[in-house]
Every structure is written in structure tokens, then in C-alpha cells.
């Protein structure tokens, strides 16, 4: 799509233009650009997946930016289809309410609120809620289900409108959003304007430490413009009169960072966790571009191991399917060269993806019924971060002789 992608010149956090390329993956279409049967003959545009390190502040990022309307207005990921993630959001709501108790009737805002799963937990606890999400149909359905959702991208102007109509928010959350936005300065300013004086902004992002240590390269795709670490984030937020006063590592998406932010001079006491993780990042030398330049070798090692296994199975006449069609599967399949000649079909539990075809490679996405009607000998769990519940939920497949292949963080067969 002409004009759908451009390359920015400067760092998304500090603005410096002194950047070093540290990794180049195979270009892909947008990771959630599933297509219907009647669009299979239309070639899908692919965009670069080149990763850069800012010499100025140490932030790791993509500079090639795909138009967010292409990525998000017809979004097909829905939080509520994953029981594991629903429980994760339930736990987050409980934790925030316990640590920073709100008064009844105060406001909670979720940016990138999707189907309203997180906000529903806040609403059930007596808070007023408001979602902001540009995915038009998902926002409409969330509103219809009782979670009022503004179907727009958040801007400072919209933030002022929200405060005028709803008042400031005690809680603002943004899970897996802070890595999605090109104009992070404008987003952060919008959050600052909406946050009450005593309020807490909580965000979750994939953590660069985990991406590096566990070779989670498939978290690199066009929706994820940033690969955050604590040091650059602390400096960035301080430049916007915000304080990152607490952080914690969590297990979601193979390893993520949860941050807690307040206004500068806010009431919440820093607990030392920010400095602790900055020390870890320095010990791992993630503040040096040379460290990340060696990342490609680890990725290629995983690639050779998985491709050797799949090639051997195909040469024996074994049938192979995939399980899960998350965005990360697009990066993994393209970079490892796993297409329809290797995987016959992909099972996914989301009705929004079923009966469509995977981005670019056009592997059919089907319901789990197909797993049992065809009973392929092997299933590659593309949604590998949910491998444990997937295997537990499909014990019948294992009983009937099927085996699961988990590609990351280590290749293993179970």
C-alpha cells in the first residue's frame, strides 16, 4: 500500500538521530493482516523489520512505521478469547486496587482497551470506566456490552475532552500499548493530562531483557515499534514530568515489564525496583549496541534447529499443523521460512481469525475441530507463550498419538 510506511529519522524517546542498526529480520506484511479466500490473489505488501539502538539513550526500536490505521482499525486480536490473559487482567485489576485504593466511583481509563476485559473488572469493583481504542468494530462491541469505549487514537486534544466530560482518572492502564505508538511523547502528554494528582498510570510492555535472554525475536513486528528497557524509560518519563516509581517483571508474553508511573512529586514512594532493573540491564550490557548485534546469531541457531526437525518430519511423510495465530507467528514463520509447504493449517480459538488465511504466507486458519478430524502427527505451537494451557486443553490430541512442538524459547517436542 503506497504511503503506508515511512522511516523516522530520530529516536522515539530522546529524539537523537545517532542510531545503529543491530538486527535485520525478514520483511513481513503487518502481523495481523489476515485475508479472506477471495483476496488470496492480491499480493500483500511487506515492510522492513530492522531494529535500531539509540546511541543517545539506549532505546531499542523500529524506525519503519506502518500507518496505524492499517494496523489497528480492523484489529482481530480480542483479549477475552484467552482464559490465561483474562486471568492476567483480573490479577492486574486486583493488584492496582489493593496497592493504590481508589474511592468508589472514581474513574479508570484503559488505553487500547480492546473488548473491555480489564475495565469490566474495575467496573465490577464500583469504579466508573472508559475505554479508548481505535479498533472500530471491537470498540463498538465493547460499548454495546456495557464498557463505554471511544473508537479513536488517543491525542492530547482527546485527553482534554475526556477530562472535561469525565474528570481525571485514578487509574490509567495501557497494556502492550506503550510499544505500539510512534508518537510516544504525545501519548505520554495525553496520559499526564488525564491522570489525577494522586493517580497511577500502569503499563505493560515486552521487556528487552527477556527478549534478549530468551531469544524472543518473534515479538518483533510492525505493531511493536519499541523494545523497552527501564533505563531509557525512566529518563523519557522524567522529561515529561512523570516519575517511574516502581517496576516489576511479569511472565506474560514470554517476559514483560510492568511499570507504575505518577506525576513528578506524586504521593507514591519509590521502592528501589527501578534502580535494581537498571543495574541488571547494565550488567547484561544491554546499554551497548554490540550486545544486540550478536542477537542474530542466537536467532539463527534456533532457526536451524527447528527447520532441521520439521524437514526431517516432512521427509518421513508426517503431517504438521500450527496452533495459535498470534501476531508473533507472522515474524516466526517468515524469518524461519515456515509456510504452507510445511504447515497444512493453523488452529486458532478466535472466531475473528477462523476461515481466514495467515498474513502473506496464506496458511488457512481453522477451528480446533480440524485438529481432531485430520489428526496431524505434529503441531507447532506458534502461540508458544500459551503452550502449557494449550497442551492441557488438548490432552485428547496427545492421547490419540499427536505430539506438540514448542519453538521458543527452546525447541522441544512433547
Alpha-carbon span 285 to 360, nearest angstrom: 36
In this structure, is residue 74 part of a structural domain? no
Q: Which segments of 148-183 does DSSP mark as H helices, in order? A: 156-166
Angle of helix 273-283 relative to helix 230-239, nearest 10 degrees, comes to: 130
Residues 249 and 317 in one domain: no
Phi, psi of 211, rounded to the nearest 5 degrees: -55, -45
In this structure, is residue 73 part of a structural domain? no
> Cβ distance 125 to 97 under 8 Å?
yes
Alpha-carbon span 194 to 163, nearest angstrom: 6
Q: How far apart are the first and last CA of the chain?
A: 41
Residues 100 and 221 in one domain: yes
Q: How sure is the predictor about 83, in pLDDT bands with cuts at 50, 70 and 90? A: confident
In this structure, is residue 90 part of a structural domain? yes
In this structure, is residue 244 part of a structural domain? yes
In terms of residue numbers, what domain contains 247? 79-292
Q: How sure is the predictor about 75, in pLDDT bands with cuts at 50, 70 and 90? A: low
Residues 265 and 389 in one domain: no
Residues 318 and 187 in one domain: no
Reading the block at residue 253, the C-alpha cell is: 508474553
> Cβ distance 383 to 63 under 8 Å?
no
Residues 85 and 157 in one domain: yes
Q: What is the tens place of the pLDDT at every residue in 211-257?
A: 999 999 999 999 999 999 999 999 999 999 999 999 999 998 789 99
In this structure, is residue 332 part of a structural domain? yes
The pLDDT value recorded for residue 76 is 56
Strand partners, 110: 131, 173
The pLDDT value recorded for residue 39 is 92
Residues 309 and 344 in one domain: yes
> Cβ distance 82 to 117 under 8 Å?
no
Residues 238 and 365 in one domain: no
Residues 202 and 256 in one domain: yes
Pairing, β 60-62 against β 403-406: unpaired
Alpha-carbon span 98 to 111, nearest angstrom: 21
Alpha-carbon span 346 to 362, nearest angstrom: 10
The pLDDT value recorded for residue 95 is 95
Residue where a domain stops, chosen among 231, 266, 292? 292
> Cβ distance 49 to 60 under 8 Å?
no
Q: How sure is the predictor about 3, in pLDDT bands with cuts at 50, 70 and 90? A: low
Alpha-carbon span 326 to 413, nearest angstrom: 20
Residues 50 and 112 in one domain: no
Residue where a domain stops, chosen among 241, 259, 292? 292
Residue where a domain stops, chosen among 66, 92, 112? 66
Alpha-carbon span 277 to 209, nearest angstrom: 9
> How many domains is the chain built from?
3
In this structure, is residue 354 part of a structural domain? yes
Alpha-carbon span 131 to 119, nearest angstrom: 7
Reading the block at residue 393, the C-alpha cell is: 486443553
Q: What is the tens place of the pLDDT at every residue in 347-380?
A: 998 888 999 999 999 999 999 999 999 999 999 9
Residues 159 and 56 in one domain: no
CATH number, domain with residue 350:
3.40.50.720
CATH number, domain with residue 266:
3.40.50.150
State the average pLDDT over residues 191-202: 98
Q: What rounded mean pLDDT belongs to the chain? A: 94
The pLDDT value recorded for residue 78 is 63
Residues 131 and 223 in one domain: yes
Q: What is the tens place of the pLDDT at every residue in 299-357?
A: 999 999 999 999 999 999 999 999 999 999 999 999 999 999 999 999 998 888 999 99
**Per-residue buried b or exposed e for 164-178, using 16+ beta carbons within 10 Å of the residue's own CB:** eeeebbbbbbbbbbb
Q: What is the tens place of the pLDDT at every residue in 112-165?
A: 999 999 999 999 999 999 999 988 899 999 999 999 999 999 999 999 999 999
In this structure, is residue 72 part of a structural domain? no
Residues 312 and 273 in one domain: no
Amino acid at each position: 500500500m503506497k504511503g503506508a510506511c515511512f522511516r523516522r529519522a530520530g529516536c522515539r524517546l530522546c529524539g537523537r538521530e545517532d542510531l545503529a542498526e543491530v538486527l535485520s529480520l525478514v520483511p513481513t506484511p503487518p502481523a495481523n493482516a489476515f485475508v479472506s479466500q477471495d483476496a488470496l490473489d492480491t499480493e500483500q505488501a511487506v515492510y522492513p523489520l530492522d531494529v535500531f539502538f539509540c546511541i543517545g539513550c539506549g532505546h531499542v526500536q523500529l524506525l519503519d512505521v506502518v500507518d496505524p490505521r492499517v494496523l489497528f482499525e480492523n484489529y482481530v486480536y480480542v483479549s477475552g478469547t484467552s482464559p490465561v490473559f483474562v486471568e492476567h487482567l483480573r490479577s492486574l485489576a486486583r493488584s492496582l486496587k489493593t496497592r493504590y485504593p481508589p474511592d468508589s466511583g472514581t474513574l479508570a481509563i484503559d488505553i487500547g482497551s480492546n473488548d473491555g476485559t480489564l475495565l469490566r473488572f474495575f467496573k465490577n469493583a464500583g469504579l466508573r470506566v472508559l475505554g479508548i481504542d481505535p479498533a472500530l468494530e471491537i470498540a463498538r462491541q465493547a460499548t454495546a456490552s456495557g464498557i463505554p469505549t471511544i473508537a479513536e487514537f488517543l491525542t492530547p486534544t482527546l485527553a482534554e475532552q475526556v477530562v472535561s466530560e469525565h474528570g481525571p482518572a485514578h487509574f490509567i492502564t495501557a497494556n502492550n500499548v506503550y510499544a505500539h505508538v510512534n508518537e510516544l511523547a504525545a501519548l505520554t502528554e495525553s496520559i499526564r493530562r488525564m491522570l489525577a494528582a494522586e493517580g497511577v498510570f500502569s503499563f505493560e510492555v515486552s521487556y528487552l531483557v527477556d527478549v534478549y535472554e530468551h531469544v524472543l525475536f518473534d515479538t518483533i513486528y510492525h505493531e511493536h515499534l519499541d523494545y523497552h528497557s527501564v533505563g531509557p524509560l525512566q529518563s523519557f518519563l522524567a522529561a515529561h514530568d512523570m516519575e517511574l516509581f516502581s517496576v516489576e517483571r511479569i511472565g506474560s508474553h514470554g517476559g514483560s515489564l510492568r511499570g507504575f508511573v505518577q506525576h513528578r512529586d506524586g504521593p507514591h514512594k519509590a521502592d528501589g525496583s527501578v534502580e535494581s532493573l537498571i543495574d541488571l540491564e547494565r550488567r547484561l550490557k544491554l546499554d551497548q549496541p554490540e550486545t544486540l548485534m550478536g542477537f542474530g546469531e542466537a536467532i539463527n541457531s534456533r532457526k536451524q534447529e527447528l527447520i532441521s526437525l520439521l524437514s526431517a518430519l516432512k521427509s518421513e511423510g508426517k503431517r504438521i499443523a500450527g496452533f495459535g495465530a498470534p501476531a508473533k507467528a507472522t515474524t516466526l514463520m517468515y524469518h524461519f521460512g515456515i509456510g504452507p509447504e510445511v504447515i497444512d493449517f493453523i488452529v486458532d480459538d478466535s472466531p475473528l481469525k477462523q476461515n481466514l488465511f495467515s498474513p502473506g504466507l496464506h496458511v488457512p486458519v481453522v477451528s480446533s475441530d480440524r485438529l481432531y478430524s485430520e489428526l496431524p502427527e505434529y503441531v507447532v505451537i506458534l502461540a508458544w507463550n500459551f503452550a502449557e494451557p494449550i497442551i492441557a486443553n488438548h490432552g485428547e490430541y496427545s492421547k490419540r498419538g499427536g505430539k506438540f512442538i514448542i519453538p521458543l524459547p527452546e525447541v522441544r517436542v512433547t
